[in-house]
Structure 1
Amino acid sequence: MLKEMLVILFSAILVDNFVLSKFMGICPFLGVSKKMDSAVGMGGAVIFVMLMASAMTYPIYEYLLVPYHLEYLNTMAFILVIALFVQLVEIILKRYIKPLYNALGVYLPLITTNCAVLGVTLLNVENEYNFLSSMVNSLGAGLGFTLALILFAGVRERVEAADVPQAFKGVPITLVAASIVAVSFMGFNGLVTGIFG
């Protein structure tokens, strides 16, 4: 049981990283990764929303949608749950951590439509995870999202200080740097099965 949970956790963080392997959540990845503080803040918000959304969507799916054969409504139901928790995060940040709220700007409400958050809830259903496995997968996905943001924030800070040819300044160098970071995560493909297999 512990071995299975560790495989799910480390797979979600490194091998099946939502941003760098599945290419979900690219908008906040590129938009919020300019500064380390905002990257950490967005990562924390996404972890919270992923965990809470998975905790709510699992019982909704298992005890409401499946018994009444309404599985086709899962996407709509999951988006409503995610929107609820994003609003909660937005209210808390606006009230208690105003600088972070201002730094995240438009990207905070975009967590509602962030395909990484919706993706983790849908993959939990698709993989037929039980509640504990769903929560571990969500934690791993959130940690992987945060890891990608923090790594890329560090890369972007270095790129901003570098002497980049005029044609590559701005978005082009950002996309090139993002692709190099994504390629580096391909090296983790055999790691989880090699350690836990």
Structure 2
Amino acid sequence: MEHIELFFKSIFIDNMVFATFLGMCSYLAVSKKVATAVGLGAAVIFVLAVTVPLNWLLDQYILQEGALSWLGAEYAQYDLSFLSFIMFIATIATMVQLVEIIVEKFSPALYNSLGIFLPLIAVNCAILGGSLFMQSREIPSLGLALTYGVASGIGWFLAILAIAAIREKIRYSSVPPALRGLGITFITTGLMAIGFMSFGGMLTGGDEPVTEKPKVEANIEKKEVKKAAKEIVAENTNIKLVEE
């Protein structure tokens, strides 16, 4: 259940593009054609699916304070968290080089169409953001880290695929001259972000059972009411006598 919830939240609610606006440079530059967007989106899914679990292992067994305790008690006091950025980027760069070699070998046309944006995945903030969000949210297990990496990649893939399909149709539409190009693309992205964020009401809340608060009823006996009424009447009578 936890894996399913994290999977759908990472795709729709915490979408890398529509919720945190990470990876916008590639999102805008490589979304003119659906075929190119599919190729880059698949590469992002692969890189996130591999780097997030690897960086989780690095964080758990090397970088965190006391993570080196498995080497011995004398290493338990070390804290290498200041190396997180360097280690994460090194892992990402290695995986991107692997993806670049695979794409160039098996799909030269896609490699040429992606151009400089394929090696730039190494500095894509969405890729690094996946590992940093994994670290900041303190994902407890390797399986959840893998789920988060795959789901985040799928979310980015859906975002660039959707905008690429829309931009292909917009070419044949009568867009006002002032909004042509990036203008209408930004507006469309904002509308899509609203649509994706609307899933938050479906995937959050409702997990805790609703408990009704006990109703407090005021049970006052008739005698006490009469007594209180007599005291009020007596006080009023005394006030009148004093005034007279």
Q: Same fold (TM over 0.5)?
A: yes
Q: Which residue of 2 aligns with 1:184?
A: 195
Return the match for 1:173 from 184, 199, 210. 184
Cα distance, 1:59 vs structure 2: 1.6
Deviations 1:75-121 (A, max 9, x none): 11100100000011111111211011111111111111111111111
Aligned counterparts of 1:105 and 1:17: Cα–Cα separation in 2: 25
Cα distance, 1:182 vs structure 2: 1.5
Q: Which residue of 2 aligns with 1:99?
A: 109
Cα distance, 1:126 vs structure 2: 1.2
Return the match for 1:63 from 61, 64, 83. 61
Letter in 2 for 1:152: I
SS of 2:198's equivalent in the other structure is helix
1:15 and 1:185 in contact (8 A); partners too: yes
- Higher relative contact order (CA closer than 8 Å, sequence separation 6+): 1
1:7 and 1:196 in contact (8 A); partners too: no
Identity across matched positions, percent: 38
Deviations 1:165-192 (A, max 9, x none): 2222222122222222222212111121
Letter in 2 for 1:108: L
Deviations 1:125-160 (A, max 9, x none): 111112111110111100100111111111111211
Q: What is the count of residue pairs matched by the alignment?
A: 195
Deviations 1:11-41 (A, max 9, x none): 0000110101111111111111111111111
What are the equivalent positions in structure 2 for 1:1-197 lying under 5 Å apart? 3-66=1-64, 67=68, 68-129=78-139, 130-193=141-204
Deviations 1:23-71 (A, max 9, x none): 1111111111111111111111001100111122122111122233101
RMSD of aligned Cα (Å): 1.4
From the CA coordinates, give the structure whose radius of gyration is larger: 2
Aligned counterparts of 2:164 and 2:177: Cα–Cα separation in 1: 21
In structure 1, the gaps of 5 or more residues are none
Give the TM-score, by structure 2 length. 0.76
Structure 1 stretch displaced more, 183-192 or 129-138:
183-192
In structure 2, the gaps of 5 or more residues are 69-77, 209-244
